[in-house]
Amino acid sequence: MNRNNHPLFQLTLVRFREFVREPEALFWVFIFPILLAAGLGIAFRNRPAEVLQIAAVTPQLAAPLRAEKLLDVRELSSAEAGQALRNGKVALVAEPGANGAVVYRFDDTNPEGRSARMLADRALQRAAGRQDPIAATDALMREPGSRYIDFLIPGLLGMNLMGSAIWGMGFAIVDARRKKLMKRLVATPMPRPYYLLSFALSRLLLLVLEVGVVLGFGAWVFQVPVRGSLVGLALLCVLSSMCFCALALLVASRARTTEAASGMMNVVMMPMWICSGVFFSAQRFPSLMQPLIKALPLTAVIDALRAMMLQGSGLAQLAPQVAVLSAWLVACFWLALKLFRWQ
């Protein structure tokens, strides 16, 4: 048999053609992550330390506070200052207390309030003659790898790996079942494993483009580093994508309508979007939840990607994440084959 006529080749080609001829899919897989990275990268770009707005009730307090360059001091009446604090126009109000003391009014859950408290107090104490016992100087570090965009790009990459595998494969399978196309294929001598394998193969081919686009964009526009080996990164991406393919196969194993499948995909992906640390660190969740969060495949993918890209870890150091992904891959694939409905 001619190689071009091999059923696996033809099935994979069909997958590829269907993907390329779907403009929406191209947008979600290639354009959307770039727009998201660009938007967030601009919104959270590193800026010089911000000047904080504060209010002082008396000129005696305002004068020494103005010596601090990081504070913008406004002199307001007590009532006006309280109003401004409530509206968030100022982060702190300094008022005279009894016997020459000072009272700071601020919201201690607001990080700006806490910073303003420290800066204001330092300025007033120094103006009153305080000497710091230890001499301190600041050495500023603003290098690639420690910015928000460096944190974000591996997160987006992981999210993209998950979304494209689950949506791309899940919808295609359920749609073929709904249209009875799958039943028609099963009525031919097509070897059934080839059908499933064609999805995995086309996914791997598209993976090269998907990962390349996101990493290339990050490196070119924001100089996001890749410190680990590219081979390790490629292997990690392949493992991640196959893991999500198995998950997609499981989600799509029985659904007969795209509506039902869509609901199930959201149920599966929503906890990971929220908990797996795409946009902010998963460490922020209570420690009770941490073992659960660590067991999610997307958490493992993103943790491993960050370690590899930003800290230069190798696959060997990422054994826990690789183990989590392999376990999901094997379990989902096995269960999906048990449950899969071919008609």
Partner 1 sequence: MPQTATKAALRVRQLRKTYKDVVAVDDLDLEVRPGECFGLLGPNGAGKTTTIEICEGLTAADSGEVEVLGLHWPADAAALRQRLGIQLQETQLSEKLTVIETIQLFRSFFHQGPEPIEVIGLVQLEEKAKSRVGNLSGGQKQRLALACALVGDPDFLFLDEPTTGLDPQARRQLWELIEQFKLSGRTILLTTHYMDEAERLCERVAIMDHGKMIALGTPRELIASVCAEHLVEFSAGTRAHPLDLAAVSAIDGIREVQHENGSVRMQVTELHRAVPALLAELGRQSVPLTELRTHSATLEDVFVTLTGRHLRDE
The residues binding partner 1 (CB under 8 A) are 1, 5-7, 9-11, 13-14, 17-18, 21-22, 179-181, 183-184, 186-190, 343
DSSP H or E segment with residue 106: strand 102-106
Q: Which is nearer to partner 1, 88 or 191 (CB)?
A: 191
Walk across the sheet containing 52-56 and list its strands: 71-75, 52-56, 92-96, 102-106
Angle, alpha carbons 207-210-214 (nearest 5°): 140
Cα 225 from Cα 207, distance rounded (Å): 20
Q: How far is the CB of 29 from partner 1 (least distance, A)?
A: 16
Q: How far is the CB of 187 from partner 1 (least distance, A)?
A: 4
Q: How far is the CB of 204 from partner 1 (least distance, A)?
A: 20
Q: Which is nearer to partner 1, 162 or 169 (CB)?
A: 169
Q: How far is the CB of 14 from partner 1 (least distance, A)?
A: 6
Q: Which is nearer to partner 1, 188 or 287 (CB)?
A: 188
Q: How far is the CB of 185 from partner 1 (least distance, A)?
A: 8
Spatial CB neighbours of 80, under 8 Å, sequence gap ≥ 6: 55
DSSP states of 44-79? T---SPPPEEEEESSHHHHHHHTT-TTEEEEE--HH
Q: How far is the CB of 25 from partner 1 (least distance, A)?
A: 11
Copy the structure tokens of residue 81. Answer: 């200052």
Q: Which is nearer to partner 1, 198 or 276 (CB)?
A: 198
Q: Which is nearer to partner 1, 45 or 179 (CB)?
A: 179
Strands 92-96 and 102-106: antiparallel
* Residue pointed to by tokens 């204001």: 120
Q: Which is nearer to partner 1, 161 or 252 (CB)?
A: 252
Helix (H, G, I), strand (E, B) or coil at 243: helix
Cα 7 from Cα 57, distance rounded (Å): 81
Residue 7 has phi, psi (to 5 degrees) of -55, -35
Q: How far is the CB of 161 from partner 1 (least distance, A)?
A: 24
Q: Which is nearer to partner 1, 1 or 288 (CB)?
A: 1
Q: Which is nearer to partner 1, 7 or 145 (CB)?
A: 7
Cβ–Cβ < 8 Å for 252, 169 = yes
C-alpha distances (whole Å) from 54 to each of 23, 73, 289 are: 52, 5, 39
Helix (H, G, I), strand (E, B) or coil at 4: helix
Q: How far is the CB of 211 from partner 1 (least distance, A)?
A: 25
Helix (H, G, I), strand (E, B) or coil at 279: coil
